[in-house]
Structure 1
Amino acid sequence: MTGRDFLIFMACCLGWGGNFVLSAWVVGSNPVPPFMLALFRSGIVLLVMGVFLFRPLPESFGRLLIVGFCVGPAHLGFLYTGLQTAPASASSIISQALIPMTTVLSVLFLKERIGWVRSVAICVSLLGVMIMVYEPGALSLDRGMMLLLCAYVALAIGSVLMRTVPNVDWRQYVAWTALMVFTLSLPATALFETGHAVAWETAGWKLVVVALYAALFVSVFAHGQYFRLLQTYEVSQVVPLSLMTTVWACLLGVLMLNETLYPRYIIGALLILPCVWIIARRGTIPPVQED
């Protein structure tokens, strides 16, 4: 990866880390319906990037829509709903489950190969995820953390599928993903959510700030560059660098929201973070050449 692309991806991680904190700040402390926020966010993206919808459709348009659904409506729906109860810092840590999940999917579908060290790291990191989502003293899993885990399962699937969508401009990808989010969020918020007027009264300018930040810095810049980088480099080279998202989110969560990391979050993090670092540092074993 070039130095320029590396710095661009570090800026993407900063954007994602800040999005955890700002989204939790709004949907966690104010009665903001999650799909309403997703609708507002996607509407802003369409105003900025909607012109790219009118370009000629790419050859792999159907697959592009599948990627857009995974990264857009599925990911955001679970993410915003989970952030209503899950702390931003712990949420950013569980987001690192994206790394082992994409690694496994890249082996299954992209025929990448990993060694035994990476395999052990994947298993231990997934154990850390389970520790984080389990709620002690109850016979159930923490709902917010489980929803966040589902959000990153969807993102992992979309990330791997991005490698199979050739010759698509990242701006066209951003525009079509925003259209899918807008199209699905509109009936979802109308049918399943209430309190829209109350949300505007209580959240007000906070909702506008978060929606603008998520639309411009996250959807347009971070997701757009993420799509471009996954078309340029291997999944196993790009995705592990998202480890920096947790660093930024934890730092911003402590500074801005005065959050506390509970023991199960700390234990899970101690298992997940070293393992994803191992996964990131280990080189990919080239596939066996067939005769």
Structure 2
Amino acid sequence: MYFMISQTVGATESTCVLKMGYRTNERLPNIARAPDNSGLYLDLYQKAARKVGCELQITRLPKNKVVNLLKRGEVDFYPGFNLTKKRSSFAYFIENGLPGGDVGISRDDMAEVTQLEQLKGKVLLRAKGSPDITRDIRGIDIKQPPEMTSMQAMTFLLNKKGDFYIYNKSTLEYLLKQHPLEGLKLHPDCCGGVLPLYLGFSLKSKWFKGMTNPKYKEDQPISADNYPILMSVESKSYEFSQVLKSMKLNGETRALYEYYYH
């Protein structure tokens, strides 16, 4: 049985509460293990919420349960969410201003991976709920230990319970800096390079208003520039997105990132 852990940060008489959902395990330095919500996500989103006149409420549950709440609009947003076609049916993607992009990690005896096709015949560790970026490549064995953290994934690699793991570049570099592990190597060019990092905002949130995008091209891949929905400029979600954009441009987000990662 799982119990929902929820905390409203800096609650006041404000009628606007933005609800952020995240899994129970940690992703340091972004967020600690539940019920501790401290970290970069708390500082970033609490500051942004207050700039739009809202308070931040954080709910911690296993990821699949949080995603179900997001689909129903019972959670407003997930703080770090990869953009996929499947997720576009229930979430709108907003750049959060943090540097994104994935890298791979393996034991140090593996040749440099620059194309995912090189993983044929290998065991790929993947956190449950993570996008399946190798779905079109046959011959890769996928292993998904429940609620696996990145630290656990690296331990699995060293114990030969997997061959390769793909995750956010900043997170893996931070973990290796904090917990130096001999016998591992990063593969910086395997998985698309530096990309924007998004939050996923629920299409059913009471703070979201959207409309059909007449310029959406169904025969083209889903992207931030080719999305089936347009966000209304009159919505709280739009206001939130503009504050996050402003925080990136004026250096606030970068300062928070440097504080936590360096």
TM-score when normalising by structure 2: 0.27
Comparing both chains, which one has the higher relative contact order based on Cα–Cα distances under 8 Å and sequence gaps of 6 or more? 1
Structure-1-length-normalised TM-score: 0.25
